[in-house]
Structure 1
Amino acid sequence: MEYLEFELPIKELEEQLQKCQIIGEESDVDVTETCKQIEKKLAEAKKDIYKNLTAWQRVQLSRHPDRPYTLDHIKALCGDSFLELHGDRNVKDDKAMIGGLGKIGDQSYMFIGQQKGFNTKTRQYRNFGMSNPEGYRKALRLMKSAEKFGIPVVTLIDTPGAYPGLEAEERGQGEAIARNILEMTRLKVPIITVIIGEGASGGALGIGVGDKVMMLENTWYSVISPESCSSILWRSWEYKEQAAEALKLTAKDMKRMKLVDQIIKEPLGGAHKDREKTFMAVRDAIVKSYEELKNLSPKELMKQRMDKYDEMGVYKD
């Protein structure tokens, strides 16, 4: 297991506990009391560290290499019922954007989300979770298919942003994202959005317009990453921690400003510490959200969705 810099005190205590247990197993020395003391210190350290996380520390947790990605969530939610669908019917199949049909219980959903890789080879294959225009057009094609058959849409957001390459711009990256935002506002089926990792810039917004928008506890959602913000304002990445605080990008900040509807609780230490518990929390949130939306007519859905976004922000006439 990998430890982040602020988790090093926890790592030291866990190593001490492991050594203590090994001594107890390999010798006649009674180390029960010592192990209990270390366990107590470990529990207190975890509580102190994880209950007082800074914005930058939550950004780090959202990027943890052991954190479950979109396909992990979909497989846990749907099991063998998930059928992945490919291609935008125009250019190619974007591997950074995945989507398809799956069931939670007896209810079918159209799942769409960004997928990152877990090693060098798969990160390159998935383009680090950064979609090209064809990825957003594939997402829109799947949303329109879901609308045609009355199937609710679930989007899972985890991206450092849309791919900023020259070829992406040549194929209309901005237009593809803008088209998705427009079409999602008037989609006639429920849209449930869950931010499961990074929610950066237009790359997230391209599949982020929803009737219910939820964030896992240790995720972030912002127009720009802390590093990029720091490089623009201070001409250096050294001020990324201050940028993270100033951007108000955590789940608590988003909920307080009424930009998201719900925070999904994570296990102590992050989603990767207890994947099954995380999957169940996400599943329950999706099912509950759909129960609240399923009886609304298409007209009521669209009106409620537009009203929700119209009320965001502070302005004066």
Structure 2
Amino acid sequence: MVTVRPPAFWADPRSRLWPWLLSPLEAVVAQLAQRRQKRSGWRAPVPVLCCGNITTGGTGKTTVVMDLASRLIREGRHPHVLTRGYGGSTAQGTQVDLVQHTARDVGDEPLLLARLCPVWVGADRVRTARAAVAAGADCLLMDDGFQNPSLHKTLSLLVVDGSVGLGNGHVLPAGPLRERPAQAFVRASAVLMIGPDRTGFLPALAEYDLPVFRAGLAQSAEVAALGARACVAFAGLGRPEKFFEGLCAAGVNLVQALAYPDHYFYKSRDMRHLSDIAQAGNACLLTTPKDAVRLPPAFRRGVTQVGVDLVWRDPSDPEWILTTLFERFAADEALIGEGKPR
């Protein structure tokens, strides 16, 4: 199995030695993160919804963005997505073109999002926001960027993976946190936990009086067609075990699972290895749509893609989020009309 994992002590609240040794660096990172938030961001002339997190690694933000973008489109809105485009090499402020761009150009997640609505990549969120508005966006969805203060957010939704919570509770490099939780919670509008709360995270939110939503992930319909056939799964994600566990829970006959680093670009030797394993066991190769866009088309055709759907515990929760987004924007615009600066 090929994999790159964060330090084990990041996930263990009982670990003391490494967090103590790294505490001087942790203090510096936390202080820099706090200072950064003193900047005021540019106010876009349309609502901005940020789906971010406190920890490093995958929490399901892109899945949430895709769900909310789909809902906005069904309501007749014209959302555009702003994303950093991790791993891409294209110029800042570029709109993703599904015909022209590959994952090496713009990153893997932007290609998935661009199947739904226009997507702009770049670390400069103001630049991409201005470009999106000029191109006709009537609302903006940020995939990550909660710690980036350059663009004012109408509503910020913190996405938390219930399986890992806040890890050991320490800031980088002593733990997985990008900033201190208390600092993040006071800026957040709401929290969305995906999956069961296995770390006792939710009770810690009580003092912040934040709306808390719950959701789960369900494997897409492709798994039903697999039947009892032997399957070999591979994935390069922040937490690939979530994909493998989901397949098993859906009844897939998973005979082997191979984990790769997040955003990994598969090499020829990797694909030969995967093909050899599948042929030896007369098995079907499975991966995620995010991984599939990083595969050459010829190899991709022989791999079954299994995505996930976001299943809200309360179907009214996403409607609350979107309604609140536009209500808050209207209220802000009314204040600006009374003389408050944009």
Under a length normalisation based on structure 2, what TM-score does the superposition of the two structures give? 0.34
Q: Which has the higher strand share?
A: 2
Q: Which has the higher helix share?
A: 1
Q: RCO higher in 1 or 2 (8 Å CA, sep ≥ 6)?
A: 2
Under a length normalisation based on structure 1, what TM-score does the superposition of the two structures give? 0.36
